Amino acid sequence: MRAFGELESDIMRVVWASQEPLSVQRITDALNEERSLAYTTVMTVTERLRTKGWLERAKQGRSYRYQALRSADDYTAELMEQALESSTDRATALLHFAGRLDAAEAAALRRALDTTPTAVPDIDS
């Protein structure tokens, strides 16, 4: 998986923040609060995100409404996994990452590790 480009990230941020599926016009309007983008540009990138499996669309009237198929947390986790895969020493990379967490983040990570079941090796192999 490749990281999102700038406009892809912006579109996904708008979609993730919404409690309901959005039309391309509503996405464009939200994005245009910060910068000027053409409707057709937003439509093209939104459709690319759909073909990549990040968005789904449903027909509503004469237009489509888009919603996320995967969460922002899922996206972040995939990016983190990719970063670890590129490392020659995953354990050291994880230690460096953990060393950059603030106290609340470190506590959340500890709780997650304490509640996540770990794989048990097969002793019969």
CATH no. for residue 53? 1.10.10.10
Instruction: Sort 11 into a burial class: Cβ within 10 Å, 0-12 / 13-18 / 19+.
Output: buried
Coil, strand or helix: which one is 65? strand
Indicate whether 24 and 51 sit together in one domain: yes
Indicate whether 46 and 82 sit together in one domain: no
Q: How confident is the model at residue 125 (pLDDT cuts 50, 70, 90)?
A: very low
In a domain, 46, yes or no: yes
Indicate whether 108 and 60 sit together in one domain: no
Indicate whether 43 and 79 sit together in one domain: no
Q: What are phi and psi of 23, to 5 degrees?
A: -80, 160
Indicate whether 88 and 100 sit together in one domain: yes
Q: Tell whether the model's pLDDT for residue 119 goes beyond 80.
A: no
Q: How confident is the model at residue 1 (pLDDT cuts 50, 70, 90)?
A: confident
Q: How far is CA 30 from CA 43, 48, 60, 63, 80, in A?
A: 13, 19, 20, 17, 28
The alpha-carbon radius of gyration of the chain (Å, integer) is: 19
In a domain, 88, yes or no: yes
Residue 87 belongs to what domain range? 72-115
C-alpha distance across the termini of the chain, in Å: 33
Indicate whether 48 and 14 sit together in one domain: yes
- The reported pLDDT for the residue numbered 34 is 92
Indicate whether 60 and 77 sit together in one domain: no
In a domain, 13, yes or no: yes
Query: pLDDT (tens digit, 9 = 90+) per residue, 75-109?
Result: 999 999 998 999 999 999 989 988 999 999 989 98
Task: State the total domains in the chain.
Answer: 2
| H helices present in the chain, as ranges | 6-17, 24-31, 39-51, 72-85, 90-99, 103-115
In a domain, 120, yes or no: no
Task: Tell me how far apart the alpha carbons of residues 68 and 13 are, in angstroms, rounded to a whole number.
Answer: 10
The pTM for the full model equals 0.79
C-beta separation of 21 from 58 below 8 A? yes
Q: Tell whether the model's pLDDT for residue 43 goes beyond 80.
A: yes
